[in-house]
Amino acid sequence: MTEHLLEVANLSVGYSGQVGAPAVEDFNLCLDRRVRLGLVGESGSGKSSIIKSILGLIRPPHTVNAKRIYLDGVGDLATMTPAQMRAVRARDIGYIGQNPFGALHPVVSVARQFEGFLSDHGSWKGRNSLSEVGTLLSNLGIGDPTRVLGAHAGELSGGMAQRVAIALASLLSPSLLIADEPTTALDVTVQRQVLDLIAQPRKVSEQALLLVTHDLSVVAQYCDEVVVLQLGQVVERGPVASVFTEPQHPYTKKLLSSVPGAAPVLEAGADQGGGVAARSVRFRRERILASDAPASSTTPVMVIEHVDKTFRRAGTSVAAVCDVSLSIGRGETVALVGESGSGKSTLGRIATMLERPDAGRVALEGRDIHNLSSRNLRGLRPKMQIVFQEPYQSLNPQLKARNAVSEPLGNLRPKLSKTDIDDRVRDAFVMAGLNPDKGTRYPHQLSGGEQQRVGIARAVVTRPSFVVLDEPTSSLDLTVRAAIVDQLQKLQEELGMSYLFISHDLATAQQIADRIVVMYKGSIVESGPAWKVLTEPLHPYTQTLSEACLDPDPRVAPRPRQQPVLVGDLVPGACPYLQRCLRSSDQCKSAPKLADPVEHRRVACFHPLDATSVSAAPPQALPSLDELLVTQDPTV
Amino acid sequence: MKIRDPRLVLIARRLAVIPLSLLLVVIISFLLVALIPQSTAQAIAGQGASKEAVIAINRKLGLNQPLLTQLGNYLDRLVHGNLGTSYYSDKPVASDMLSHVPATLELILPALALGMLIGIGLGTLGAYRSGKLADRGVRMGGSIIQATPEFLLGLLLLYVLFFRLHWLPAPTGQLGIAYVNPPYHTGLLVVDAIIAGQWSTLGDVLVHLVLPVLTIALPLAAVLARITRAVVGKALVADHIAYGRAIGLKERRLIRYALIDSRTSLMTFCATLFAGLVGGDVIVESVFNWNGVGQWAISAMTNLDVPAIQGFVLFSGIVTLCVYIALDVAAVTLDPRIRLGHSS
């Protein structure tokens, strides 16, 4: 009978100055070697506090009380001094954080950071160490380790930076790896590569993984066991297979039903009103069936034609949007999907004229707006509104919620009377699902979800015909996310608004949108009915995006990943996707135009995928960390 | 998409504006003095001088010509490297002023270095021990020094260290009365004394430096400690520091990383402080009888010695410009965030 690798007994964490229940109360955990355990919970569930206590990072005046935090081969962490704990970190417990750039110093080069790390752990052996780091980096899928070692944080992509963090976490072959939301800040296409590296089933090494995440799909596909936390307490734990298929606790059920695209689980609970997402899926399906031809009969609410936008700074220029055309019908929701840097947010800002295009036409309800002066635009602002990604940052901290919502009304002509303004503001609060009594609160006195509802109330208070939703849910908790999406759809039914929904996540986009438009490096590469774009992608990039969607059902095996992504420089005049494409030919050295091979669908590719026979090339997986740990010299 | 080295672009852009900035400095310095309501000639001639004497002086100095002509003449002289002649001493302004610069440099360079050492050190300590006794002590000490007028601080230091304790010499300028200047090489007495091998002179120069340097350095340190506490405090809560702690880096390394992260901002503040000092510190120079450029400039101003004032404004302007250009180059070289065009 082997002992557990990690045993946490009766852990409680309290923060000084905090009122009410402690952040974590009486938490127990046993983790065996080779086991990958998912620690799941929303913000405030205490998951970060737990891993910080295990790492010994919570210092007075905050309090950690534990009967024991025992790590096999090391001892009881709860009784160790800060100096002893420092040595344990990285040597025995590897850590990967959420923000990939958080791992990197903005000014010190990557190589120097490895040097600092290794010398603080007494393992620096000069040039030899560096070359071993280089080998590890290239095993982690970094094509040019020398360049990365000489680089600074700002010169690396998120995926590269996270690989450097993985290298730092695994160099000393710790027996426990803690990953705190390791892919939340990464693009979906990179998410799976990183997870494949850190969370493959352990075949060779004995390393255990504690994966902290809010994303149930990640747990479903990459963990053996799961612990569900709510407000500092464990509500459910067990093997992933049984918890996901037969959740016992109502909170677990609610979490599972909030996952976008979680159809199988939903249909069982939909009748009890348990699935807010179920409602929207049904709603959207009905609408697609009702109008297969995307609103082309009436005048579109928003028309964007041949729009270009280039940003210049310090000697370089970046084409954020090039030659993009798009139209959105009345009451229609178009989702704009792409990874960071695809130009989707810029396009959203151009559609609301927060950014002026360099060239092209933008028209709202048939009227050109791209050439209007700021003063004339202000008169049109009530008709077009925007909801931002970061609810708190988009609100003025000095303005009460009520005043924030009433501000856009100032642009209405003729001016409203004071009582009319109060009525409109109250209506907007109700429409956004917010109690009007909260109007007297300041933004910091509201929760993240409430802040975003204020943002929505502010956007709909003028009864706009067109609203840009720039990732309105991506900084919110899962259950809040589903409720906000639901609210947005209800509002659309009531007011007949058109939405441009910007998202990096195909599953969420598919849940809310009638049509999906996929952008890559500033160009539209594919568009079509939401349902079809996700399930039958035509463009290789869309395929990559849809493969990146993890299924929240652990019984459904993840679709094989096509290729490791290599991102090089853009070749002028060539297809923007050329460097990453497996289907490219000589023809791709000129840029493909958007064409419509299938009705209602458009794709910019010379070699679109055949909708009926999605190619099944064998996945060329990189070696996982599991294998690397064994090949790595543990004394490095 | 054309990519040039942003560093070269930035430096070139900064160098390109130097001539224009200089011209503006010259014109402003000229106009400032020309706009003084008091008649220069009257000031030179004295209150009781006759009208004829004043007119004669005006004619002699060319002050009766239109302003634009005067400006043209002034620029013409400048182009030939001539800053004019002092109305009073009849000596060329440039050499007269430059003879006072070494004394000032000898004062402000060590003061700046000491101020940076104390200020950045204590500020970092305060940031690291935020809210603790050390932090509160540093902040209180800083506030007291900042609230003390410089002349009072100088006099207090004199009272304690010279008058009561006799640790340091009387404020007789750069040297005690028993000493003579070492042979002239650089004008910097410390350097000249070393070159001449006059070790006792060197010792005297050094002990005379202590009090005025402290008087300038302490308020500098107070300002810098405050700024450093804020800047480094922010750097210490950055993600990469929390991450570094989670992977077991030593606290000393984390503090160093925070300092490296903040060095561009700190450098900017130091350069600003330095630029403010190059004109000399009139108060300290008078308290300690220091024959520096500040004293020289203030006497030029009270005498309405127009060419000297203009020369001084031009000198401060040029030095300030150079400091800021050097700062930009250093920042671009040291900070990849600026080099890569990120706003920071």
Query: Tell me: the pLDDT tens digits for A92-106?
Result: 999 998 888 888 898
Torsion angle defined by CA atoms of residues A502, A503, A506 and A512, in that order, rounded to the nearest 10 degrees: -60
Q: What is the pLDDT of residue A315?
A: 58
Domain with B226 in it: 96-298
Q: What is the pLDDT of residue A279?
A: 43
Percent of chain A with pLDDT over 90: 30
Torsion angle defined by CA atoms of residues B21, B24, B29 and B34, in that order, rounded to the nearest 10 degrees: 180
Q: Which residue has the higher pLDDT, B199 or A507?
A: B199
Q: What is the largest CA-CA distance in chain B?
A: 85
Q: What is the 3-state secondary structure (H, E, C) of A497-533?
A: CEEEEEECCHHHHHHHCCEEEEEECCEEEEEEEHHHH
Burial A76-115 (b: 16+ CB within 10 A, else e): ebbebeeeebbbbbbbbbbbbbbbbbbbbbbbbbbbebbb
Q: What is the pLDDT of residue B116?
A: 95
Burial A487-522 (b: 16+ CB within 10 A, else e): bbbebbeeeebbbbbbbbbbbbbbbbbbbbbbbbbb
In angstroms, rounded to a whole number, what is the distance separating the alpha carbons of residues A435 and A39? 33
Give the tokens for residue B74: 């002034």
Percent of chain A with pLDDT over 70: 86
Which of the given ranges, A129-143, A194-208, A364-378, A611-625, has the highest pLDDT on average?
Answer: A364-378
Q: Which residue has the higher pLDDT, A67 or A188?
A: A67
Over residues A70-90, the mean pLDDT reads 89
Q: What is the pLDDT of residue A281?
A: 47
Q: What is the pLDDT of residue B78?
A: 83
Least confident of A282-286, A613-617, B102-106: A613-617
CATH number at residue B196: 1.10.3720
Tens-place pLDDT, residues A398-451 = 999 999 999 999 888 788 888 999 999 999 999 888 899 888 999 988 888 899
Tens-place pLDDT, residues B134-149 = 999 999 999 999 888 8
Is the pLDDT at B295 greater than 70, yes or no? yes
Over residues A472-490, the mean pLDDT reads 85
Is the pLDDT at B159 greater than 60, yes or no? yes
Q: List the single best residue of A107, A147, A177 to mutate versus B (max B Cβ within 10 A).
A: A107
Whether residue B152 lies inside any domain: the answer is: yes
Inter-chain touch B6–A315, beta carbons under 8 Å: yes
In angstroms, rounded to a whole number, what is the distance separating the alpha carbons of residues B225 and B233? 11
| ∠ CA A505-A506-A512, rounded to 5° | 100
Ramachandran category for residue B278: left, alpha or beta (phi over 0 → left; psi -120 to 50 → alpha): alpha
The position carrying tokens 């006759």 is B50
Q: What is the crossing angle of helices A448-460 and A478-495, to 10°?
A: 10
Tens-place pLDDT, residues A229-269 = 998 889 999 999 899 988 999 999 988 888 876 543 333 33
Over residues A358-367, the mean pLDDT reads 92
The position carrying tokens 């964007």 is A304
The DSSP-derived string for A483-499 is HHHHHHHHHHHHH--EE
Q: What is the pLDDT of residue A298?
A: 67
Whether residue B55 lies inside any domain: the answer is: no
Torsion angle defined by CA atoms of residues A376, A379, A384 and A389, in that order, rounded to the nearest 10 degrees: 80
Is the pLDDT at B6 greater than 70, yes or no? no
Contacts of A314 in chain B (CB under 8 A): 6, 9-10, 340-341
Ramachandran category for residue A189: left, alpha or beta (phi over 0 → left; psi -120 to 50 → alpha): alpha
Q: Is B3 on the interface with A (CB under 8 A)?
A: yes
Contact A387, A472 (CB under 8 A): yes
The DSSP-derived string for B109-140 is HHHHHHHHHHHHHHHHHHHHTTTSHHHHHHHH
Mean pLDDT rounded to a whole number for chain A: 82
Number of cross-chain residue pairs from A and B with Cβ atoms under 8 Å apart:
100
Inter-chain touch B1–A101, beta carbons under 8 Å: no
Q: How many CB atoms lie within 10 A of CB A443?
A: 21
In angstroms, rounded to a whole number, what is the distance separating the alpha carbons of residues A170 and A136? 9
Whether residue B324 lies inside any domain: the answer is: no
**pLDDT category of residue A620 using cuts at 50, 70 and 90:** very low
Using beta carbons and an 8 Å cutoff, which residues of A are at the interface with B?
Answer: 55, 57, 86-91, 94-95, 97, 99, 101-108, 116-117, 120-121, 152-155, 165, 168-169, 313-319, 570, 572
Q: List the single best residue of B4, B243, B339 to mutate versus A (max A Cβ within 10 A).
A: B243
Tens-place pLDDT, residues B219-248 = 999 999 999 999 999 999 988 999 999 998
Q: How many CB atoms lie within 10 A of CB A636?
A: 17
Contact B259, B267 (CB under 8 A): no
Q: What is the pLDDT of residue A426?
A: 93
Tens-place pLDDT, residues A496-525 = 899 999 988 787 888 889 999 999 888 999
Least confident of A273-282, A333-342, B152-161: A273-282
Over residues A549-569, the mean pLDDT reads 66
Beta strands A176-180; A602-603: pairing state: unpaired
DSSP-assigned beta bridge partners for residue A29: A8
Contacts of A55 in chain B (CB under 8 A): 246
Inter-chain touch A117–B250, beta carbons under 8 Å: no
Q: What is the pLDDT of residue A271?
A: 37
Q: Is B243 on the interface with A (CB under 8 A)?
A: yes
Q: What is the pLDDT of residue A389?
A: 87
The DSSP-derived string for B285-304 is HHHTT--SHHHHHHHHHHTT
> Measured between CA atoms, how close is A177 to chain B, in angstroms?
11
Over residues B49-53, the mean pLDDT reads 80
The position carrying tokens 């450029």 is B293
| ∠ CA B153-B159-B164, rounded to 5° | 150
Tens-place pLDDT, residues B166-197 = 888 888 888 888 888 888 888 888 888 888 88
Class of the A6-101+175-249 domain?
A: alpha beta
Q: What is the pLDDT of residue A306?
A: 93
DSSP-assigned beta bridge partners for residue A526: A518, A603
Domain map of chain A by residue range? 6-101+175-249
Ramachandran category for residue A66: left, alpha or beta (phi over 0 → left; psi -120 to 50 → alpha): beta
Contact A103, A97 (CB under 8 A): yes
Give the tokens for residue A441: 């609160």
Q: What is the pLDDT of residue A157?
A: 81
**pLDDT category of residue A274 using cuts at 50, 70 and 90:** very low
Tens-place pLDDT, residues B241-272 = 999 999 989 999 999 999 999 999 999 999 99
In angstroms, rounded to a whole number, what is the distance separating the alpha carbons of residues B98 and B102? 7
Over residues A287-303, the mean pLDDT reads 61
Contact B259, B232 (CB under 8 A): yes
**pLDDT category of residue B322 using cuts at 50, 70 and 90:** confident
Inter-chain touch A102–B240, beta carbons under 8 Å: yes
Helices within B174-238 (DSSP H only): 189-196, 199-236
In angstroms, rounded to a whole number, what is the distance separating the alpha carbons of residues B303 and B38? 11
Least confident of A333-347, A389-403, A570-584, B324-338: A570-584
Over residues B107-117, the mean pLDDT reads 94
Handedness of CA A372, A378, A379, A380 (dihedral sign): positive
Q: What is the pLDDT of residue A563?
A: 53
Is the pLDDT at B67 greater than 70, yes or no? yes
Tens-place pLDDT, residues A562-613 = 555 555 556 677 888 887 777 778 888 888 888 877 777 888 888 888 744 4
Inter-chain touch A121–B248, beta carbons under 8 Å: yes
Q: What is the pLDDT of residue A549?
A: 78
**pLDDT category of residue B120 using cuts at 50, 70 and 90:** very high
pTM confidence score: 0.78
Query: HSE on the CB side for A573, CA within 13 Å?
Result: 4
DSSP state of A624: P
In angstroms, rounded to a whole number, what is the distance separating the alpha carbons of residues A490 and A482? 12
Give the one of B9, B247, B248 whose C-beta lies nearest to A315's C-beta. B9
**pLDDT category of residue A209 using cuts at 50, 70 and 90:** very high
